[in-house]
A and B are shown apart, each in its own frame.
Chain A
């Protein structure tokens, strides 16, 4: 039975990880399992900006995808960037096995506001669904309420929900069916 694996870079609040488990199971319909905690990704640190390269985190994740994993989602407290962009909330491989999300910019304290754990959990779930959605081949959606809508700022994250719109749900269903068929054919061989 294939499962979505969650991986923590360093230590992540257990309440957040539990919320993530439920959310990934509800939206994607796969079992959700945990990978053993991964060490803090010091190898990905850019000392000039004090940010971590999401590309290197993804590479690390891909190198240790469990055999029964349909997808792996990494979670880090560190602020992420890709070389071209000053920051990213998360990073995924389109139609690939892995994605990673950062909690750094989802905290209210990042914007000099009072912490709000419930808000943080909702923001995290939205970004997790968004990045996992990319790994299932979904692209950005023009419906600003859909989890697949593009967020370049925290206001856009807050505007969307952790749900997929009707169109993206159908596309996800098609993608997972296709995957199951491919896996079935693989087993027959």
Chain B
């Protein structure tokens, strides 16, 4: 086990560094030496060391503390032991403040160094074990690239397995960035249709006529620019699954066409007269409240019921914060190598920042944040500094301008209404956010005659 750990001894005195290195090698560690801080920093860029013994007083640019600070930027997880011949309280305090794990005065009792090194290595072994267990846990909590240990998500995983091989249409609802397409793919690839195509279409990205041609295809000459026959996505997806993202945005005409395809399992290409039969499973997704759109007459109720045979509602990331550490570690493992960066972990402080952030853009937003941090990160561990951009973003949001000409009662009314909407009418949660007890909140709801949802 000891061979796994590299130790670096930095001292300008050859006899000092070589004798300590030899002594540590006898204990089974792999030891490198450097005669200057600069040399140690260069070697740190090429190899990972678990422990550094750094002499406090070294000539030529970098003294012990400066060397330690540079090394900590590259390898923040390394344990640094500052070694000095003359102990003063001031230097000891500076060393510890700048992140030294220990401060020792030479010559040391051999037992003291042995205990110190074995204690640090014991912690390193536990950290390594922890990291291995975390990877195993990620596997346990991952389902077709979706990672979660949230009970609601686990229920969804169960539902996916149950419905994967059915032909029934599925409606996935959830805020933007919650992973609706990943769920659709999971359904497709867990079922009997896995070997057939999975075709995704974003319904909001195209105009009505383009989307119609995209979905159903067109015949030559059916419109200006239709120079040849083109197969639509429904034909391409034959035997497989078509994923219609942002279904709430399609026009009434396309709603009707879709209804027909769901009912009759056939359609006509744009400008065509030949009836085409298809066997395609439809999975639709939206971040809008479709029930409301149906109620308002903006979305056909018959289409809604056809699409909503199996409903999956994805929770927002703020409602499954327990998944944040799992997700972040997964992103680090995946994105780091993709970007050619050697980032391996995240500090506790940085993770705390991510846990406290609201993530309106959900998993997509946190993934982007981690990617941005990895790109700008100078060390192997993401720290608070790498997520400074989130704090700025948060501060901007906190600068709330109170609308003018509102009475205190009106402001209170608006605050309660907004909070109840956010908590989906959950009084306990809303009272906790607003910092009032439940009876006070009930009083205000009654006073302002507010709807619970």
Contact = CB atoms under 8 A, between A and B. Distances in A.
Interface stretch (B101-109, B282-290, B412-420): B101-109
B20 to A, nearest CB: 4
A84 B19 contact: yes
Interface string B107-123: 11111011000000000
Contacts, number: 65
Contact of B20 (A53, A84, A134, A152): A84
B54 to A, nearest CB: 13
Given A139-B27, A139-B28, A85 B113 contact: yes
A55 interface: yes
Contacts of A87: 110
B20 A82 contact: yes
Taking chain B's interface residues, is the majority helix, strand, or loop, or is none over half, making it mixed?
helix
Contact of B26 (A53, A54, A140, A153): A140
Interface in B315-371: none
A85 B23 contact: yes
A91 B28 CA distance: 15
A81 interface: yes
B312 interface: no
B87 interface: no
Taking chain A's interface residues, is the majority helix, strand, or loop, or is none over half, making it mixed?
mixed
A155 to B, nearest CB: 10
A-B pairs, 10 with minimum CB distance: A152-B111, A82-B19, A139-B28, A84-B20, A152-B110, A86-B107, A83-B16, A85-B110, A140-B27, A94-B25
Interface of A: 53-55, 81-88, 91-94, 134, 139-140, 150, 152-153
30 contacts: A55-B15, A55-B18, A82-B20, A82-B22, A82-B23, A83-B15, A83-B16, A83-B19, A83-B20, A83-B107, A84-B16, A84-B19, A84-B106, A85-B19, A85-B23, A85-B110, A86-B108, A86-B109, A86-B110, A88-B23, A88-B110, A91-B19, A91-B22, A94-B26, A139-B26, A139-B27, A139-B28, A140-B26, A152-B109, A153-B111
Given A85-B23, A152-B111, 16 more contacts: A53-B15, A82-B19, A82-B20, A82-B22, A82-B23, A83-B15, A83-B106, A84-B16, A84-B23, A85-B19, A85-B109, A86-B107, A88-B23, A139-B25, A139-B26, A140-B28
